[in-house]
Chains A and B, each alone.
Chain A
Amino acid sequence: MVKEVMSQINRSATHMRATILANKRVGQYHQIVFGIGDLVKSCRPGNFVAISVGGDSSRMILRRAFAISRVSENASFGGTMELIAAPHGSGSKWLCSQIEGSEVDIILPLGTAFGIPTSPVNALLVGGGYGSAPLFGLAEVLKARGCKVDMLLGASTSAKIYAPMEGKRSVNSLKIYTEDGTMGELGRVTEPIKVLIEQKAIDVIYSCGPMGMLRAISELTANTDVVHQCAVEEAMACGIGICMTCVLPVKGEDGQISMLRSCIDGPVMDGSQVQWHLVGQVPEVNL
């Protein structure tokens, strides 16, 4: 039992220096490509990376976590890994300011991955803001398995939608929602999901984005046959499972609620097991 658990903890995680091969601005975000060699073979959609920021004399002591957007094997660069960063805080601003050829200290791949069905299914991918980033890599994998892949992307405004041209090719359909109507439909990305579930048009929902969105989708899929795999977001200090800061209340098979680390037991979790109403609280139940 103990050994089994161990073998599951970040068994491919590697601490390395990776060269930035490209860093380009896409709307409000940066699309950054790293050379990671053969590690691409261990990266799965849903996995994340932890990057040291600010250089050697930085007062920022903690790594920043980013979802892997996609990996590919390239004839001239070998294995490459792409992520999408929003230059919001000091750490992500530093990363976005790094030029091609810079080296960064990175640990990857980390965390759980989206489960890929063994037989073709109807998959709905839902992304909020740049939470769409890992969904394009996932879409490619699902398409290769013969799945029907529909995508819904939402954000408060058009500038916060991340939907690259090349990504659109890997989905059967793409619909965009903005809360201010500046792109696509006016409204929230969760609005069409209820009908899609009632029509039995989807088997699995894969989601990544703000916790409010993940919770709303979990409420829509509750008591239905639709599986909801969501990539959660909680503040992490270490990303490798030792600090216990990024915990979420999750109900296990036995009905017991545990505070699970979103870095090791996530980021991809079963949306029906996350106790969304208890996030930010301590369960009242006695252990």
Chain B
Amino acid sequence: MSDFDFSTTLGNAFFNTPIFTASGCASSGKELSQFFALKDIGAVVTKSVMNKPRYGRPTPRMAETPSGMLNSIGLQGPGIEAFLANDIPWLVEQNSRIIISIAGETIEEYATLARKVRSVGGISAIEVNISCPNVENRGLVFACDPDASRRVIDGVRRTIGGELPIIAKLSPDVTNLPEIAKGVVESGADALALINTVLGMVINFDTMRPHLGGKTGGLSGPAIRPVAVRAIYQVHAALPQVPILGMGGVSSGRDALELILAGASGVSVGTASFGNPHAVVDIQNELRDLLIAKGFPSLKSAIGYAHRGADL
């Protein structure tokens, strides 16, 4: 291990390394802990949890696409009470840094979730997922509506107080992403998670109907990486002081560095873990080597480096 400064911060939360799991792609960490020690990565971002237990969407929930996949899980989960009782104590025991991701159907549900998370120890930050595409009603994708986005974050901020950093997870499926980003930052978000999956559809050639049980799904994997790079670049240009947790198709250290150069302070690895359970640690090691090889004195010095000399 070199003495290279690989640390990063999101709001007031400090992380030893900038590589995290992505919400919805690591469950609550137990399954991946078979392959590496969770304390060795930046943080585990847990699967977005709702207030009540939830079945999610019907199967089929998955379709592989060129260099990507569509999923329509629909936030299946145990509900916040069981999650806080079972999953969080275990993660704390692993000495893992933890970011809890929450998702609600109403603005009030987000606030309720925030209140329940507030009383839990050992948490580094809360991700407020306002952009899951797999909800029954696309109108519920708060992150597609500037006003609804603000109100959700405002409610969470009021409930949770000033301590725990709030990371607002946004959708790239909007016309003016920097505007939505500005709105949630003004409402109290300390950081932004960019990007959630991109809404897509696959038609099954046998049935000649939409393949997924939920018809539409979220596209992830290397296919969407350029969309993530663009989103991070645009938002970092508009809000250079706001830390971004970048994600979207990262499957190598090179990919992670691309997002960091675009403006990400940390990078979540999602779909890559499906194909390679060691992806998070592999990418972390590759990124450290690459940063050193490129001559960066620290991770922080590479954040947003692609913007140097640019007209902001």
B82 CB, min distance to chain A CBs, angstroms: 10
A287 to B31, CA, bound (A): 25
A107 touching B277, Cβ below 8 Å: yes
Please, which residues of chain A bring their CB within 8 A of the CB of B162?
none
Chain B minimum-CB-distance residue to A284: B55
Stretch among B66-74, B116-124, B152-160, B169-177 lining the A interface: B66-74
Across the interface, name the chain A residue whose C-beta is closest to B278: A15
Are B56's CB and A2's CB within 8 A? no
Contacts A61-B222, A62-B274 given; does A13 touch B34 at CB 8 Å: yes
Q: In the complex, which residue of chain A has the Cβ closest to the Cβ of B66?
A: A59
The yes or no answer to A6 lying at the interface (CB within 8 A) is: yes
Q: Please determine whether B59 and A242 come into contact, CB atoms closer than 8 angstroms.
A: no
Cβ–Cβ contact B67 & A59, under 8 A: yes
Overall SS of chain A's interface:
loop
- Verify A6–B25 contact, CB threshold 8 A: no
Q: CB within 8 A of B56: which of A10, A234, A264, A282?
A: A282
Within 8 A of B (CB), among A240-258: 240-248
Q: Is A22 an interface residue (CB 8 A)?
A: no
B86: chain A residues within 8 A (beta carbon) = 1-2
Contact with A along B157-185 (1 / 0, CB 8 A): 00000000000000000000000000000
Within 8 A of A (CB), among B191-221: 213, 221
- Given the complex, which residues of A lie within 8 Å of B31, measured CB to CB? 9-10, 240-242, 264
Whether A259 sits at the interface, judged by CB under 8 Å, is: yes
With A15-B35, A287-B54 as contacts: A235 and B59 at CB distance below 8 Å: yes
Closest chain A CB from B196 CB (angstroms): 16
Q: What is the number of contacts between chain A and chain B, taking CB atoms within 8 Å?
A: 120
Size of the chain A interface, CB-CB below 8 angstroms: 40
Contacts of A107 in B (CB 8 A): 277
Query: Given the known A-B contacts A61-B271, A242-B25, A244-B76, are A11 and B69 also in contact in the complex, defined by CB atoms under 8 Å?
Result: no
- Residue A279, interface by CB 8 Å: yes
Closest to B79 in A: A287
A212 at interface, CB cutoff 8 A: no
Q: Is the CB of A242 within 8 A of B61?
A: no
A150 to B277, CA, bound (A): 39
Secondary structure of the B contact surface, majority rule: loop
Report the bound CA distance from A9 to B90 in whole Å: 14
Chain B residues within 8 Å of A170, by CB: none
A63 within 8 A of B: yes
Shortest Cβ distance from residue A214 to the other chain B in the assembled complex, whole angstroms:
15
Nearest-CB residue, chain B, relative to A256: B53
Q: In this assembly, does B27 line the interface, its C-beta being within 8 Å of a C-beta of chain A?
A: yes
Answer whether residue B16 sits at the interface, using C-beta atoms and an 8 A cutoff. no
- Specify which chain B residues have a CB less than 8 angstroms from the CB of A3 in the assembled complex: 90
Residues in chain A within 8 A of chain B (CB atoms)? 1-3, 5-6, 9-11, 13, 15, 52, 59-63, 105, 107, 234-238, 240-248, 259, 264, 279-283, 287
24 contacts between A and B (CB under 8 A): A9-B30, A10-B31, A11-B34, A52-B275, A61-B271, A61-B275, A62-B69, A63-B275, A107-B277, A235-B62, A237-B71, A240-B32, A243-B25, A243-B62, A245-B71, A246-B62, A247-B76, A259-B55, A259-B56, A280-B59, A280-B60, A287-B52, A287-B53, A287-B79
Contacts beyond the supplied A59-B66, A287-B79: 16 A-B pairs with Cβ under 8 Å: A2-B89, A5-B30, A9-B34, A15-B277, A61-B222, A61-B272, A62-B64, A62-B274, A237-B64, A241-B31, A242-B26, A242-B273, A243-B274, A244-B24, A244-B76, A245-B71
